[in-house]
Amino acid sequence: MERIKERTGGLLNITVVPKGVLPLKTEDELPAVSSGDLDMATMYCNQEAAFPVLSVRDVTGMVRDEVERVKVYSETFPILERELNKMDIHQLVYHAFGMNHIMVLKEPVDDIADLGRLKIRSYNLECSARIEAMNGVPVTIALAEVFTSLQKGVIDGVVTGISGTYGGKFHEVATYGYYTPFNPPIYTMVVNKTLWESLPADIQEIAMEEFRRMELVTLAGNQDATLWYIEEMQRTGLVSYTAEISDVLRTNINEQVTKPMLEDLLGKTGAVGEEVLAAMEKALGRTLR
């Protein structure tokens, strides 16, 4: 954001505040942007209470890689922009997050499609449904307790983002790693529409140039970062890492988690949800339900 400040001569100075600093829950961020109490935010499906159709776009298992995720973002952008404008919110740019979920286990398995009733740490209902579809037993444990729970045998493994696995040193106890198709949601930078439109056109142009630059840098760096984490974990305890996903696992997740979740969300979001799904199918060239 310093480049924006510099290029605009200080006329646009964006302060990035880490989550947890402001007295706002995740689900309250979009309403705060809508009301103007918050200028900008990162929008993703955990804010579904304020904007339920977000969750249709982010149902687990529908998007297979970063390329597909960008396609889905682009094709659904006009629909979400139309609906967000009704809340006085404007979308700015895609925020790449990476397809980088990993499961680490204390003992190896032939295929994580069948975990043989191993106890796996879960963090929400959707995660629990995925673990059950893999013949595992979900156990809800706070992230801060995962390392000691692995040591004590309370759980047999954990699935989370690769940076969280590395930072928590989970791989030092659960030394067998597996890529998992639990794609993170699509993150989008949003701004209060009235505020954005009050900015001079040249300031908007500079800001968008820098936002897109950050998007490209992040996209380019995600794959390198994933490889770096894998290499570092192998250096510090990870015995093996399996990057392939079996057809059995994809089928089980699709039938037991993706389709039921999608149908439930479409029932809640009505015509707009169906419109988003149709745009996704157009972007991906395949049927999703």
The reply to whether 243 falls in a domain is yes
Q: Would you state the pLDDT for residue 225?
A: 84
pTM above 0.75, yes or no: yes
Residues 20 and 142 reside in one and the same domain: no
Q: What is the CATH number of the domain that holds 167?
A: 3.40.190.10
The reply to whether 65 falls in a domain is yes
Residues 16 and 33 reside in one and the same domain: yes
The span from the CA of 210 to the CA of 138, in Å, is 42
Residues 124 and 252 reside in one and the same domain: yes
List the domain range (segments joined by +) for residue 19: 2-97+185-224
Q: Would you state the pLDDT for residue 69?
A: 87
Residues 82 and 105 reside in one and the same domain: no
Are 175 and 104 in contact, with CB atoms under 8 Å apart?
yes
The reply to whether 16 falls in a domain is yes
The reply to whether 280 falls in a domain is no
Residues 78 and 198 reside in one and the same domain: yes
The reply to whether 202 falls in a domain is yes
Among 110, 165, 106, 162, which residue's Cα sits nearest to residue 134? Answer: 110
Residues 171 and 137 reside in one and the same domain: yes
The reply to whether 200 falls in a domain is yes
- Domains identified in the chain, total number: 2
The reply to whether 198 falls in a domain is yes
The reply to whether 140 falls in a domain is yes
Residues 8 and 74 reside in one and the same domain: yes
Which residue's structure tokens are 């890492």? Answer: 241
Which segments of the chain have a pLDDT < 70?
96-99, 183-184
Residues 123 and 56 reside in one and the same domain: no
Q: Would you state the pLDDT for residue 96?
A: 67
Residues 168 and 116 reside in one and the same domain: yes
Q: Would you state the pLDDT for residue 12?
A: 96
Residues 164 and 245 reside in one and the same domain: yes
Residues 91 and 42 reside in one and the same domain: yes
Residues 58 and 175 reside in one and the same domain: no
List the beta bridge partners of residue 110: none
